[in-house]
Amino acid sequence: MSTTDPTSQVSNKVEARVAELAKADVSTPESGFRLAADSHPVWSRLNEVGTELWLDTGDLDDAERLWSAEFTALTTNNTLLSKEVGKGIYDPLIQSAVADLRALAPELDDETLVGEVGILLNAHHGLRLVEKFGCRVSVELHTDLAHDLAASLCVARRLHAACPSHFIVKVPLTPTGILVARRLVNEGIPVNFTLEFSARQNYVVARLANPDYVNVFLGRLNAFVADHALGDGRMVGEKAALASQRALLELRQHGGQTRQIAASLRESEQVLALAGIDVFTMPIAVAEGMPALETAPSSIESQVETDPAIRIGGDVDLAVLESLWEVPVQLKASVEALSREDLDKFTGEQLAEFLRQRGHGDLFPRWTDADLAYIDADGKIPSYPRWREAMETGAVGLDAALNAAGMASFAGDQRTLDERIRSFL
Protein backbone atom coordinates (compact mmCIF):
# COMPACT_ATOMS: atom_id res chain seq x y z
CA MET A 1 0.00 0.00 0.00
CA SER A 2 1.29 3.46 -0.82
CA THR A 3 0.08 6.66 0.75
CA THR A 4 0.00 9.97 -0.98
CA ASP A 5 2.72 12.50 -0.26
CA PRO A 6 1.25 14.74 2.46
CA THR A 7 3.23 17.74 1.17
CA SER A 8 1.72 17.73 -2.32
CA GLN A 9 -1.33 19.70 -3.38
CA VAL A 10 -2.78 16.61 -5.06
CA SER A 11 -2.43 14.63 -1.87
CA ASN A 12 -4.11 17.32 0.19
CA LYS A 13 -7.05 17.38 -2.21
CA VAL A 14 -7.38 13.61 -2.20
CA GLU A 15 -7.13 13.31 1.58
CA ALA A 16 -9.74 16.04 2.05
CA ARG A 17 -12.10 14.35 -0.38
CA VAL A 18 -11.64 10.92 1.23
CA ALA A 19 -12.51 12.48 4.59
CA GLU A 20 -15.66 14.01 3.10
CA LEU A 21 -16.74 10.75 1.47
CA ALA A 22 -16.12 8.80 4.68
CA LYS A 23 -18.54 11.06 6.54
CA ALA A 24 -21.21 11.02 3.84
CA ASP A 25 -24.65 9.94 5.10
CA VAL A 26 -23.43 9.40 8.67
CA SER A 27 -23.38 11.72 11.65
CA THR A 28 -21.44 11.81 14.88
CA PRO A 29 -23.85 11.55 17.80
CA GLU A 30 -24.17 14.30 20.35
CA SER A 31 -21.90 14.12 23.37
CA GLY A 32 -23.20 11.62 25.90
CA PHE A 33 -25.35 9.66 23.46
CA ARG A 34 -25.40 5.90 23.94
CA LEU A 35 -27.73 3.40 22.34
CA ALA A 36 -30.44 2.64 24.88
CA ALA A 37 -30.19 -0.92 26.17
CA ASP A 38 -31.14 -2.99 29.18
CA SER A 39 -28.61 -3.89 31.83
CA HIS A 40 -27.56 -7.50 32.35
CA PRO A 41 -26.65 -8.69 35.88
CA VAL A 42 -23.62 -10.73 34.75
CA TRP A 43 -22.22 -7.88 32.68
CA SER A 44 -22.92 -5.49 35.54
CA ARG A 45 -21.05 -7.69 38.00
CA LEU A 46 -18.06 -7.89 35.66
CA ASN A 47 -18.02 -4.09 35.62
CA GLU A 48 -18.05 -4.11 39.40
CA VAL A 49 -14.95 -6.31 39.61
CA GLY A 50 -13.08 -3.99 37.25
CA THR A 51 -13.70 -5.25 33.70
CA GLU A 52 -14.79 -3.08 30.79
CA LEU A 53 -16.81 -4.89 28.12
CA TRP A 54 -16.35 -4.55 24.36
CA LEU A 55 -17.81 -6.54 21.48
CA ASP A 56 -15.42 -7.83 18.84
CA THR A 57 -17.49 -7.40 15.69
CA GLY A 58 -18.09 -5.03 12.82
CA ASP A 59 -21.58 -6.41 12.12
CA LEU A 60 -24.14 -3.76 13.12
CA ASP A 61 -27.01 -6.25 13.37
CA ASP A 62 -25.14 -8.72 15.57
CA ALA A 63 -23.88 -5.93 17.80
CA GLU A 64 -27.33 -4.42 18.21
CA ARG A 65 -28.84 -7.81 19.03
CA LEU A 66 -26.41 -8.35 21.91
CA TRP A 67 -25.85 -4.77 23.01
CA SER A 68 -26.18 -4.20 26.75
CA ALA A 69 -25.98 -1.06 28.87
CA GLU A 70 -22.61 -2.24 30.17
CA PHE A 71 -20.88 -2.36 26.75
CA THR A 72 -18.65 0.59 25.93
CA ALA A 73 -16.82 -0.15 22.66
CA LEU A 74 -16.60 -2.17 19.47
CA THR A 75 -13.42 -3.46 17.86
CA THR A 76 -12.88 -3.95 14.17
CA ASN A 77 -9.80 -5.22 12.36
CA ASN A 78 -8.64 -6.12 8.87
CA THR A 79 -10.53 -9.43 9.00
CA LEU A 80 -13.80 -8.03 10.32
CA LEU A 81 -13.79 -5.07 7.93
CA SER A 82 -13.06 -7.38 4.99
CA LYS A 83 -15.98 -9.55 6.07
CA GLU A 84 -18.36 -6.58 6.09
CA VAL A 85 -17.12 -5.24 2.74
CA GLY A 86 -17.34 -8.76 1.31
CA LYS A 87 -21.11 -8.70 1.88
CA GLY A 88 -21.36 -6.16 -0.93
CA ILE A 89 -22.96 -3.49 1.24
CA TYR A 90 -20.27 -0.97 0.31
CA ASP A 91 -19.98 -1.76 -3.40
CA PRO A 92 -21.89 1.42 -4.42
CA LEU A 93 -19.64 3.52 -2.16
CA ILE A 94 -16.51 1.94 -3.61
CA GLN A 95 -17.69 2.47 -7.18
CA SER A 96 -18.62 6.11 -6.63
CA ALA A 97 -15.45 6.82 -4.65
CA VAL A 98 -13.23 5.39 -7.38
CA ALA A 99 -14.94 7.57 -9.99
CA ASP A 100 -14.81 10.62 -7.74
CA LEU A 101 -11.12 10.28 -6.89
CA ARG A 102 -10.13 9.50 -10.49
CA ALA A 103 -11.89 12.67 -11.63
CA LEU A 104 -10.27 14.69 -8.86
CA ALA A 105 -6.75 13.33 -9.38
CA PRO A 106 -6.35 11.41 -12.68
CA GLU A 107 -2.65 10.96 -11.96
CA LEU A 108 -3.28 8.64 -8.99
CA ASP A 109 -1.89 5.16 -9.66
CA ASP A 110 -4.03 2.12 -8.93
CA GLU A 111 -2.13 1.12 -5.79
CA THR A 112 -2.58 4.55 -4.23
CA LEU A 113 -6.23 4.63 -5.23
CA VAL A 114 -6.88 1.25 -3.61
CA GLY A 115 -5.19 2.48 -0.44
CA GLU A 116 -7.25 5.66 -0.33
CA VAL A 117 -10.52 3.80 -0.79
CA GLY A 118 -9.42 1.41 1.95
CA ILE A 119 -8.93 4.31 4.34
CA LEU A 120 -12.35 5.62 3.34
CA LEU A 121 -14.04 2.27 4.05
CA ASN A 122 -12.28 1.86 7.39
CA ALA A 123 -13.36 5.32 8.53
CA HIS A 124 -16.88 5.12 7.07
CA HIS A 125 -17.70 1.77 8.64
CA GLY A 126 -16.31 2.92 11.98
CA LEU A 127 -18.44 6.06 11.77
CA ARG A 128 -21.55 3.97 11.13
CA LEU A 129 -20.81 2.02 14.31
CA VAL A 130 -20.31 5.23 16.26
CA GLU A 131 -23.54 6.69 14.87
CA LYS A 132 -25.52 3.59 15.86
CA PHE A 133 -24.07 2.85 19.29
CA GLY A 134 -22.48 6.09 20.49
CA CYS A 135 -19.48 4.06 21.66
CA ARG A 136 -15.75 4.04 21.03
CA VAL A 137 -14.61 2.07 18.00
CA SER A 138 -11.18 0.63 17.20
CA VAL A 139 -10.07 1.13 13.59
CA GLU A 140 -6.94 -0.61 12.29
CA LEU A 141 -4.05 0.34 10.05
CA HIS A 142 -3.46 -1.42 6.74
CA THR A 143 -1.12 -4.38 7.23
CA ASP A 144 1.28 -3.12 4.55
CA LEU A 145 2.15 -0.21 6.86
CA ALA A 146 3.42 -2.39 9.70
CA HIS A 147 7.08 -1.50 9.04
CA ASP A 148 6.57 2.00 7.61
CA LEU A 149 6.83 4.64 10.33
CA ALA A 150 5.95 7.72 8.27
CA ALA A 151 3.03 6.13 6.42
CA SER A 152 1.63 4.59 9.61
CA LEU A 153 1.66 7.96 11.35
CA CYS A 154 0.01 9.63 8.37
CA VAL A 155 -2.83 7.12 8.08
CA ALA A 156 -3.32 6.86 11.86
CA ARG A 157 -3.74 10.62 12.10
CA ARG A 158 -6.22 10.63 9.24
CA LEU A 159 -8.30 7.83 10.73
CA HIS A 160 -8.37 9.47 14.13
CA ALA A 161 -9.32 12.83 12.60
CA ALA A 162 -12.41 11.20 11.08
CA CYS A 163 -13.90 10.89 14.59
CA PRO A 164 -11.56 12.16 17.34
CA SER A 165 -14.22 11.76 20.02
CA HIS A 166 -14.74 8.03 19.43
CA PHE A 167 -12.00 6.42 17.31
CA ILE A 168 -9.16 4.38 18.81
CA VAL A 169 -6.39 3.51 16.35
CA LYS A 170 -5.16 -0.09 16.32
CA VAL A 171 -1.42 -0.44 15.72
CA PRO A 172 0.10 -3.92 15.28
CA LEU A 173 3.12 -5.17 17.22
CA THR A 174 6.30 -4.68 15.23
CA PRO A 175 9.41 -2.75 16.29
CA THR A 176 8.21 0.08 14.05
CA GLY A 177 4.74 -0.20 15.55
CA ILE A 178 6.16 0.55 19.00
CA LEU A 179 7.65 3.79 17.66
CA VAL A 180 4.39 4.64 15.88
CA ALA A 181 2.34 4.10 19.02
CA ARG A 182 4.78 6.16 21.09
CA ARG A 183 4.38 9.18 18.81
CA LEU A 184 0.62 8.85 18.52
CA VAL A 185 0.25 8.68 22.29
CA ASN A 186 2.40 11.80 22.64
CA GLU A 187 0.03 13.52 20.19
CA GLY A 188 -2.99 12.56 22.30
CA ILE A 189 -4.30 9.92 19.87
CA PRO A 190 -5.68 6.85 21.70
CA VAL A 191 -3.98 3.61 20.66
CA ASN A 192 -5.08 -0.01 20.90
CA PHE A 193 -1.82 -1.91 20.40
CA THR A 194 -2.59 -5.31 18.97
CA LEU A 195 -1.24 -8.77 18.05
CA GLU A 196 0.56 -9.51 21.32
CA PHE A 197 0.72 -12.96 22.89
CA SER A 198 2.73 -12.61 26.08
CA ALA A 199 3.28 -10.60 29.22
CA ARG A 200 6.80 -9.72 28.13
CA GLN A 201 5.68 -8.33 24.77
CA ASN A 202 3.15 -6.15 26.54
CA TYR A 203 5.68 -5.03 29.14
CA VAL A 204 8.03 -3.84 26.40
CA VAL A 205 5.24 -2.04 24.55
CA ALA A 206 3.74 -0.45 27.65
CA ARG A 207 7.07 0.76 29.00
CA LEU A 208 8.29 2.21 25.71
CA ALA A 209 5.08 3.49 24.10
CA ASN A 210 2.51 3.65 26.93
CA PRO A 211 -0.51 3.03 24.66
CA ASP A 212 -4.02 3.06 26.04
CA TYR A 213 -4.47 -0.67 25.48
CA VAL A 214 -2.49 -3.83 24.75
CA ASN A 215 -3.80 -7.32 24.00
CA VAL A 216 -3.18 -10.99 24.61
CA PHE A 217 -4.69 -13.18 21.89
CA LEU A 218 -5.25 -15.95 24.38
CA GLY A 219 -7.42 -18.27 22.28
CA ARG A 220 -4.59 -18.81 19.82
CA LEU A 221 -2.22 -19.72 22.66
CA ASN A 222 -4.58 -22.43 23.84
CA ALA A 223 -5.03 -23.61 20.26
CA PHE A 224 -1.26 -23.85 19.75
CA VAL A 225 -0.93 -26.20 22.73
CA ALA A 226 -3.98 -28.29 21.85
CA ASP A 227 -3.25 -28.52 18.13
CA HIS A 228 0.24 -29.86 18.75
CA ALA A 229 -0.82 -32.24 21.58
CA LEU A 230 1.39 -30.41 24.06
CA GLY A 231 -1.33 -30.43 26.69
CA ASP A 232 -5.10 -30.05 26.98
CA GLY A 233 -4.92 -26.51 25.60
CA ARG A 234 -6.69 -24.96 28.56
CA MET A 235 -5.64 -21.95 30.68
CA VAL A 236 -2.38 -21.29 28.82
CA GLY A 237 -3.71 -18.11 27.26
CA GLU A 238 -5.49 -17.17 30.47
CA LYS A 239 -2.26 -17.57 32.43
CA ALA A 240 -0.43 -15.30 29.97
CA ALA A 241 -3.20 -12.67 30.00
CA LEU A 242 -3.37 -12.53 33.79
CA ALA A 243 0.42 -12.30 34.07
CA SER A 244 0.35 -9.45 31.57
CA GLN A 245 -2.36 -7.72 33.58
CA ARG A 246 -0.20 -7.86 36.72
CA ALA A 247 2.83 -6.55 34.80
CA LEU A 248 0.78 -3.57 33.65
CA LEU A 249 -0.48 -2.92 37.16
CA GLU A 250 3.16 -2.72 38.22
CA LEU A 251 3.87 -0.15 35.51
CA ARG A 252 0.75 1.84 36.41
CA GLN A 253 2.21 2.38 39.85
CA HIS A 254 4.95 4.37 38.13
CA GLY A 255 2.87 6.53 35.81
CA GLY A 256 1.86 4.08 33.08
CA GLN A 257 -1.63 4.19 31.62
CA THR A 258 -1.78 0.99 29.58
CA ARG A 259 -4.74 -1.33 30.16
CA GLN A 260 -4.97 -5.01 29.32
CA ILE A 261 -7.41 -6.44 26.77
CA ALA A 262 -8.25 -10.14 26.80
CA ALA A 263 -8.69 -10.86 23.08
CA SER A 264 -9.29 -13.93 20.92
CA LEU A 265 -11.72 -15.42 23.41
CA ARG A 266 -13.08 -18.75 22.20
CA GLU A 267 -15.39 -19.85 25.02
CA SER A 268 -17.76 -18.07 27.38
CA GLU A 269 -16.13 -19.81 30.35
CA GLN A 270 -13.00 -17.77 29.68
CA VAL A 271 -14.89 -14.64 30.67
CA LEU A 272 -15.32 -16.03 34.19
CA ALA A 273 -11.73 -17.26 34.39
CA LEU A 274 -10.48 -13.76 33.53
CA ALA A 275 -12.94 -11.66 35.53
CA GLY A 276 -11.32 -8.45 36.72
CA ILE A 277 -8.97 -8.07 33.74
CA ASP A 278 -9.15 -4.52 32.42
CA VAL A 279 -11.07 -5.19 29.18
CA PHE A 280 -12.77 -8.05 27.36
CA THR A 281 -13.29 -7.78 23.62
CA MET A 282 -15.78 -10.56 23.04
CA PRO A 283 -16.66 -12.22 19.75
CA ILE A 284 -20.36 -12.62 19.15
CA ALA A 285 -20.36 -16.36 19.96
CA VAL A 286 -18.73 -15.76 23.36
CA ALA A 287 -21.20 -13.04 24.31
CA GLU A 288 -24.12 -15.18 23.10
CA GLY A 289 -22.94 -18.12 25.18
CA MET A 290 -22.85 -16.36 28.54
CA PRO A 291 -26.56 -16.83 29.44
CA ALA A 292 -26.25 -20.59 28.90
CA LEU A 293 -23.70 -20.77 31.71
CA GLU A 294 -26.39 -19.69 34.18
CA THR A 295 -23.75 -17.96 36.26
CA ALA A 296 -24.87 -16.33 39.50
CA PRO A 297 -23.52 -12.76 39.41
CA SER A 298 -22.59 -12.97 43.10
CA SER A 299 -20.20 -15.84 42.30
CA ILE A 300 -18.07 -13.70 39.98
CA GLU A 301 -14.88 -12.44 41.62
CA SER A 302 -11.72 -10.90 40.27
CA GLN A 303 -9.18 -13.47 39.09
CA VAL A 304 -6.36 -10.98 38.51
CA GLU A 305 -4.18 -12.39 41.29
CA THR A 306 -4.86 -15.96 40.20
CA ASP A 307 -2.08 -17.91 38.52
CA PRO A 308 -3.91 -20.74 36.74
CA ALA A 309 -2.44 -24.22 36.66
CA ILE A 310 -1.87 -25.67 33.21
CA ARG A 311 -1.57 -29.25 32.03
CA ILE A 312 1.38 -29.87 29.79
CA GLY A 313 2.09 -33.20 28.21
CA GLY A 314 3.99 -34.57 25.28
CA ASP A 315 7.56 -33.74 24.51
CA VAL A 316 7.72 -29.98 25.04
CA ASP A 317 10.33 -27.75 26.63
CA LEU A 318 8.41 -25.91 29.36
CA ALA A 319 10.62 -22.86 28.88
CA VAL A 320 9.00 -22.33 25.47
CA LEU A 321 5.66 -21.78 27.21
CA GLU A 322 7.02 -20.01 30.28
CA SER A 323 8.19 -17.17 28.05
CA LEU A 324 4.51 -16.30 27.60
CA TRP A 325 3.97 -15.27 31.21
CA GLU A 326 7.41 -14.45 32.58
CA VAL A 327 8.94 -10.97 32.37
CA PRO A 328 12.60 -11.58 33.29
CA VAL A 329 14.52 -9.03 35.34
CA GLN A 330 17.14 -8.86 32.59
CA LEU A 331 14.49 -7.85 30.05
CA LYS A 332 13.14 -5.16 32.36
CA ALA A 333 16.64 -3.74 32.76
CA SER A 334 17.17 -3.73 29.00
CA VAL A 335 13.87 -1.98 28.41
CA GLU A 336 14.76 0.64 31.01
CA ALA A 337 18.05 1.26 29.21
CA LEU A 338 16.21 1.50 25.89
CA SER A 339 13.70 3.96 27.34
CA ARG A 340 16.55 6.35 28.10
CA GLU A 341 17.57 6.46 24.44
CA ASP A 342 16.25 9.13 22.07
CA LEU A 343 13.64 6.83 20.58
CA ASP A 344 12.25 9.54 18.32
CA LYS A 345 15.45 9.14 16.31
CA PHE A 346 15.27 5.34 16.19
CA THR A 347 14.10 3.16 13.35
CA GLY A 348 12.22 -0.04 14.07
CA GLU A 349 15.29 -2.08 13.15
CA GLN A 350 17.44 -0.08 15.56
CA LEU A 351 14.98 -0.76 18.36
CA ALA A 352 14.98 -4.48 17.58
CA GLU A 353 18.77 -4.57 17.34
CA PHE A 354 19.13 -2.83 20.72
CA LEU A 355 17.22 -5.69 22.34
CA ARG A 356 18.99 -8.37 20.30
CA GLN A 357 22.36 -7.10 21.44
CA ARG A 358 21.23 -7.52 25.05
CA GLY A 359 20.14 -11.12 24.67
CA HIS A 360 16.47 -10.73 23.73
CA GLY A 361 16.67 -11.62 20.06
CA ASP A 362 13.80 -14.08 20.32
CA LEU A 363 11.38 -11.15 20.73
CA PHE A 364 12.14 -9.77 17.27
CA PRO A 365 13.80 -12.49 15.18
CA ARG A 366 15.35 -11.68 11.83
CA TRP A 367 12.77 -13.45 9.70
CA THR A 368 13.89 -14.54 6.24
CA ASP A 369 11.54 -14.55 3.27
CA ALA A 370 11.47 -18.35 3.53
CA ASP A 371 10.54 -18.13 7.22
CA LEU A 372 7.65 -15.79 6.47
CA ALA A 373 6.48 -18.01 3.64
CA TYR A 374 6.31 -21.00 6.00
CA ILE A 375 4.46 -18.94 8.60
CA ASP A 376 1.98 -17.71 6.01
CA ALA A 377 1.37 -21.26 4.80
CA ASP A 378 0.78 -22.57 8.34
CA GLY A 379 -2.03 -20.10 9.07
CA LYS A 380 -2.87 -18.50 12.42
CA ILE A 381 -1.11 -21.24 14.42
CA PRO A 382 2.59 -21.71 13.56
CA SER A 383 3.93 -25.25 13.24
CA TYR A 384 5.70 -26.30 16.45
CA PRO A 385 7.71 -29.09 14.75
CA ARG A 386 9.00 -26.56 12.22
CA TRP A 387 10.05 -24.02 14.87
CA ARG A 388 10.77 -26.28 17.80
CA GLU A 389 14.56 -26.15 17.65
CA ALA A 390 14.58 -22.37 17.19
CA MET A 391 12.20 -21.94 20.14
CA GLU A 392 14.11 -24.29 22.42
CA THR A 393 17.46 -22.60 21.66
CA GLY A 394 15.99 -19.14 22.25
CA ALA A 395 16.35 -17.96 18.66
CA VAL A 396 12.59 -17.51 18.20
CA GLY A 397 9.99 -16.86 20.86
CA LEU A 398 6.65 -18.59 20.69
CA ASP A 399 5.07 -15.16 21.11
CA ALA A 400 7.11 -13.82 18.19
CA ALA A 401 6.07 -16.72 15.95
CA LEU A 402 2.41 -16.23 16.83
CA ASN A 403 2.73 -12.51 16.19
CA ALA A 404 4.18 -13.18 12.73
CA ALA A 405 1.43 -15.72 12.01
CA GLY A 406 -1.24 -13.27 13.13
CA MET A 407 0.19 -10.56 10.93
CA ALA A 408 0.21 -12.93 7.95
CA SER A 409 -3.40 -13.90 8.60
CA PHE A 410 -4.56 -10.29 8.80
CA ALA A 411 -2.54 -9.47 5.69
CA GLY A 412 -4.38 -12.19 3.80
CA ASP A 413 -7.75 -10.73 4.76
CA GLN A 414 -6.47 -7.26 3.88
CA ARG A 415 -5.52 -8.52 0.42
CA THR A 416 -9.05 -9.86 -0.02
CA LEU A 417 -10.43 -6.43 0.82
CA ASP A 418 -7.97 -4.71 -1.51
CA GLU A 419 -8.87 -7.06 -4.34
CA ARG A 420 -12.54 -6.22 -3.95
CA ILE A 421 -11.69 -2.52 -4.23
CA ARG A 422 -9.38 -3.24 -7.18
CA SER A 423 -12.23 -4.97 -9.02
CA PHE A 424 -13.91 -1.57 -9.37
CA LEU A 425 -10.93 0.18 -10.94
Q: Using alpha carbons only, what angle is made at residue 117 by residues 113 and 119, rounded to the nearest 5 degrees?
A: 120
Mean pLDDT for the stretch of residues 168-184:
98
Alpha-carbon span 92 to 85, nearest angstrom: 11
15-422 fold? TIM Barrel (3.20.20)
Q: Which residues contact 110 (CB under 8 A, 6 or more apart)?
A: 422, 425
The predicted-structure confidence for 191-219, as pLDDT tens digits, reads as follows: 999 999 999 999 999 999 999 999 999 99
Pair 289, 268: CB distance under 8 Å: yes
Model pLDDT, residue 86: 95
Model pLDDT, residue 5: 55
> Radius of gyration over alpha carbons of the chain, in Å?
21
For the cut 90, the answer to whether the pLDDT of residue 2 exceeds it is no
Model pLDDT, residue 306: 96
For the cut 80, the answer to whether the pLDDT of residue 379 exceeds it is yes
Cβ-based neighbour number of residue 292 at 10 Å: 8
Evaluated on CA atoms 120, 124, 125, 126, the torsion sign reads: positive
The predicted-structure confidence for 311-341, as pLDDT tens digits, reads as follows: 988 778 899 999 999 999 999 999 999 999 9
For the cut 70, the answer to whether the pLDDT of residue 1 exceeds it is no
Model pLDDT, residue 211: 98
Mean pLDDT for the stretch of residues 78-89:
95
Mean pLDDT for the stretch of residues 70-96:
96
Q: Which pLDDT band, with edges at 50, 70 and 90, does 127 fall under? A: very high
The predicted-structure confidence for 255-304, as pLDDT tens digits, reads as follows: 999 999 999 999 999 999 999 999 999 999 999 999 999 999 999 999 99
Model pLDDT, residue 10: 74
For the cut 50, the answer to whether the pLDDT of residue 7 exceeds it is no
The predicted-structure confidence for 23-66, as pLDDT tens digits, reads as follows: 999 998 999 999 999 999 999 999 999 999 999 999 999 999 99
Q: Which pLDDT band, with edges at 50, 70 and 90, does 408 fall under? A: very high
Model pLDDT, residue 313: 82
Model pLDDT, residue 6: 47
Write down the mean pLDDT value for the chain: 96
Q: Domain segments of the chain: what residues?
A: 15-422
Single out the residue of 223, 222, 250, 204 nearest to residue 308, CA to CA: 222
Pair 370, 383: CB distance under 8 Å: no
The predicted-structure confidence for 336-373, as pLDDT tens digits, reads as follows: 999 999 999 999 999 999 999 999 999 999 999 999 99
Determine if the pTM surpasses 0.85. Answer: yes
